[in-house]
Structure 1
Amino acid sequence: MSVGSGPRLRTSAAPEQQEAEILAAARREFSEVGVRRAGMDSVARAAGVSRSTLYRRFPNKDALLAAVGEDIAADTMERLALAVRDLSPHDAVVEAFVECARMVSGDPLIRRLFLDEPDLTGVLVSQASRGAGAFLEASSSAIAATLRHTGATMPDDDLALVSEHFVRIALSLTQIQTGRLDVADLDSVREYAVRLLAPLVS
C-alpha cells in the first residue's frame, strides 16, 4: 500500500498493535516498491500512525528494515518447525532447506531482498534491532534449536556452526544462481540437500 490515503490514525491503539501494523505496512511497502524507493511517510500512512510514532519506534529506514528482517526470521522458523515435525535430524535438514527454497520462490519481499536488492541484505545480516540479535545469528540459533529438537546429538558448538553454514548457503544460493542448482526446482533442491547438507548433521 504505497499510494493513496491510508487508514485513519490509530493514536489510541496499544503500542504493540501500532508496531505490528507498522511492520506489516513496511513489509508491503518494501515488497511493492523496493527498499530504496520505500518512503517512511508512506509506511506511516499505510500503518495509520503519525510520523512521530513511526520515528519514535524506528528512527530510520535501516532500523525498520532490520525489524522486518526479524519478522521474516520469525516467520521462517515457524514454517520450518512445521516442515520438520517428527522427522529425524537428517530428514529435517532436507525438508527445512526445501522449505527455505519454497519461501524464496513464493515470498515477494524475500525475493526482492535477496535477488533484486542483495546489497541491502547486509542490514538484515549484521544490524541488531531492539537488542533482539542480528538476522544471521537469530536464524542460525533457531535452526540449531530445531535440529536439536529433532534429535541431533553433535556438540553445541558444531551444531551452531553447521546451522550458520546452512543459512549462509541459503543466502548465497538465492543471490548467486548458476545452472547447477535451480532454487525454484524443489526436487533439485531436495536432492542437493540429501547429498551434501544432511551428512553434516549427526
Structure 2
Amino acid sequence: MTSEILDAAQRVFEQYGARRANVEDVARAAGISRSTLYRAYPNKEALLDAVLARQLGDFLTQLDAHASGLPPQEAVVECFVKGMALTREIPLLARMVESEPEIIIGVGGSSHSALVLGAADQVAQTLRRSGASMPDDELHVVAELMLRLAYTYMLNPHGALDLTDPAAVRDYARRYLAPLVS
C-alpha cells in the first residue's frame, strides 16, 4: 500500500506542486480514504519527505550503477554529467526547481534539504567502491562539496556553464571536480 500511496503522491505533487497539492488529492489519487493516508503519513510534509527520499534514492542508485567499473576520477566526471541530465528529466524535481525552489533548499527549516545533504554518505560510498583511497572524513567532505555544487547548479542553471551541453559539463567536471578525489 505504501508504494501506491507514494506513486499517487508523486503524481499529485508533479501536477499541482508541493505547496498547492493537498492530502485529499493524494488520497483520491491513491483510491484510499484520508484517514488511511494519515495512518501511513501524519501530514503532507511527511508524505513529501517520503516521496523526495524515494526519488533521491532512485537518483543515487542510477548514479551508483553509472559509476560501476569506473576509476574514482572518471566516476566523478560521468556521474556529474549524468546527474545534471537527470535533474532535468525527473518531473517532480523539475517542477519543484521551477516553481518551489524554497522547498528544496529548506527555507523556513524544511527538512527536505537534509535529504539531499544526507546523500553525501551514499556518494562517498560510491566513490569508495570506485577505488577512492583518501581518508573517509576527507572523502565525505568532497562528496558533500560535490552535492552542494550540483545542487546549486540544479537550482540556478544559468551561468557560464551550459548544463544542456554534456561535453561542456564533462569538461567542467574533469577540470574542477575530478581532481578533488584521490
Q: Which residue number in structure 1 is paired with residue 134 of structure 2?
A: 154
CA distance in structure 2 between the partners assigned to 1:35 and 1:98 by the alignment? 27
Gaps of 5+ in 2: none
Matches within 5 A, 1:31-180: 31-123=14-106, 127=111, 134-180=114-160
Q: Deviations over 1:89-131 (max 9, x none)?
A: 0000011111111111211111112232100114599628xxx
8 Å CA contact retained: 2:121, 2:140? yes
- For residues 120 and 136 of structure 1, the distance between their equivalents in structure 2, rounded to whole angstroms, comes to 12
Q: Which has the higher contact order (CA 8 A, sep 6+)?
A: 2
Q: Which residue of structure 2 aligns with residue 13 of structure 1? A: none
Displacement over 3 Å in runs of 4+ = 122-126
Alignment correspondent of 1:19? 2
Query: Contact between 1:97 and 1:190, CA under 8 Å: does it hold in 2?
Result: yes
SS at match of 2:161: coil
Paired with 2:36 and 2:106, the residues of 1 have a C-alpha distance of 22
CA contact (8 A) 2:101 2:155 kept: yes
What is the rounded CA distance, in whole Å, between the counterparts of 1:142 and 1:42 in structure 2?
33
Q: Per the alignment, in what secondary structure is the counterpart of residue 49 of structure 1?
A: coil
> Which one-letter code corresponds to 1:181 in the other structure?
L
- The reply to whether residue 199 of structure 1 matches residue 182 of structure 2 is no
Q: Which residue identity is paired with 2:111?
A: Q
- 2:117–2:147: 8 Å Cα contact kept in structure 1? no
Could you tell me which residue of structure 2 aligns to residue 9 of structure 1?
Answer: none
TM (norm. structure 1) is 0.83
Aligned residue type for 2:2: E
Q: Give, in angstroms, the shift of residue 137 of structure 1.
A: 3.8
Give per-residue Cα distances to partners, 1:43-93, cap 9 Å, x unaligned: 111112221111112111111111111101110121012211100000000
How many angstroms apart in 2 are the aligned matches of 1:183 and 1:47? Answer: 36
Cα-Cα RMSD: 1.9
- Corresponding letter in the other structure for 2:66: A
Amino acid corresponding to residue 127 of structure 1 in structure 2: S
Offset from partner CA, 1:16-39 (integer Å, 9 cap, x none): xx1111111111111112111112
TM-score after normalising by structure 2: 0.92
Distance 1:67 1:135 in 2: 10
